[in-house]
Structure 1
């Protein structure tokens, strides 16, 4: 007698395997350079960075964090991510915005991938959010913009170790208006519970130490004042930061500077430094 049960099980395995093959993964591009190459090494570093004190009553709605190599800016970023430890169970979606370093980009770009991976593992992408943004013509699909982009990738291990189960909406932000980014946040209803916005941005680049401190302090004050006209000279993620500040001002989100430093304070020369700062909006 023909074993239909065996046939059904066999077909099911084939279907599942084909579905897995059809899934697209954006693989880690800067593991081993910007941050450690293995999950154990990542955990070892992040255990230090994520051990900063935090205010348990602060319910983060958004973070602004730097994106250099962990040896340079990891402590500044980690200080902000430490604020998630007491609310991790409430966050199930992360809107991640960062600048394009390798592709000349107009507007905002999403990826066709279903998962973004790090040595820790894969993170599922919220495809329904992508559909909303595509329907509104606020983004385009551009895998090249995501392929080697580190500004988003370096945030992923922090998110994986700070949160529990979450889906990701990774967006590379090129040249665009304040209103464009603000509209993305409005369409995605980031003010509703369960969503965290993370904007990835460093501050000034390659100035002498004391000059950089003056420039960065000025940029920090602009951010604290919700001034949405930052330029790339003050913050490399200026377009995303400007859009977030515009949106946050309308929503009456308070903003607080958490930590600041530059590469001369951490691991680099003081002749040409890169500035870093982290903020929480709540």
Structure 2
């Protein structure tokens, strides 16, 4: 049985299960304290979410608030889509391993869906593309909140947002499938400039506006975000912004920050 091994455990997130649980419990204590209202976002049942992919110390809280919501829905599989940072890709690679290892235990990869997507959308399997942190950092959250689901990992490079949107639209046909889009926002500007650039991304996601996304948003996963906006608009989903912060919230350094956001896409 082939395994998608961890590539960044102990770097972007803890390799110890106890440390992962401790971090997530800390995030949830904050969330539960500040979002106690019965009408809060904690009751959302998203079809999809956008989450960041930096180290947990920087973006874990932002990702957690979105991925925790997946436990509200009766889903059987989670498809995680992220940009390639390590290798150049023409198009999109889909993982054909059998299992996805995490420090919290393994998740099965949905091989039936993998074969379907691979054939239907002419996707490749490029093993070296799946040492990717943008997708991997989401998997411990998935294992924590929806431990019985199967997963599918898609890593894209030079890809058309429209083609990726077709994949997401197809996935939306199954109500037991959730989609996770991974992206960070602007990189290494001062806090004022970062906030200005990131506000464009946030507004575009809120309005499902692909045109606004191209007015200065510098998300590293902008292709995936645009694909999600296209698919969500066609599906009639509503986007709800969940959290925004920068690395300065953790480091205190406002001279060169990275922006992070999370959002949920729900049926109206």
Say yes or no: TM over 0.5: yes
Unaligned stretches of 5+ residues in structure 1: 1-22
What TM-score does the superposition give when structure 2 sets the normalisation length? 0.90
Do 2:81 and 2:155's aligned partners in 1 also have CA atoms closer than 8 Å? Answer: yes
Q: Which runs of 5+ in 2 are unaligned?
A: none
**What CA distance in whole angstroms lies between the structure 2 residues aligned with 1:141 and 1:86?**
32
Mapping of 1:198-209 within 5 angstroms?
198-209=180-191
1:152: which partner in 2?
135
Q: What displacement does 1:202 show?
A: 0.5
Please state if 1:277 is matched with 2:261.
Answer: yes
Question: In 2, distance between residues paired with 1:92 and 1:159?
Answer: 11
Cα distance, 1:50 vs structure 2 = 3.5
In structure 2, relative to structure 1, the CA distance for the partners of 1:130 and 1:29 (3 Å cut) is same
Q: Deviations over 1:180-205 (max 9, x none)?
A: 111112333x2432111100110000
Preserved CA contact (<8 Å) 1:132 1:187 = no
**Which one of 156, 173, 192 corresponds to residue 156 of structure 2?**
173
Match of 1:114 in 2: 98
Q: Secondary structure at the match of 1:211?
A: helix
How many residue pairs end up in the alignment?
A: 256
Which shifted more, 130-139 or 177-186?
Answer: 130-139
| Matches of 1:250 and 1:59, distance apart in 2 | 19
Moved >4 Å (runs of 4+): none
Contact 1:94–1:169 at 8 Å: present in 2 too?
Answer: yes
The structure whose Rg is larger is 1
* Residues in 2 aligned to 1:160 and 1:201: alpha-carbon distance in whole angstroms: 20
Output the CA distance in 2 between the equivalents of 1:135 and 1:97.
Answer: 18
1:187 partnered with 2:165: no
Distance (whole Å) between structure 1 residues aligned to residue 184 and residue 101 of structure 2: 23
1:108–1:138 contact (8 Å) kept in structure 2: no
The TM-score with structure 1 as length reference comes to 0.86
How much is the aligned-residue C-alpha RMSD, in angstroms?
1.7
Partner of 1:9: none
Aligned-partner Cα distance in 1 for 2:264–2:116: 27
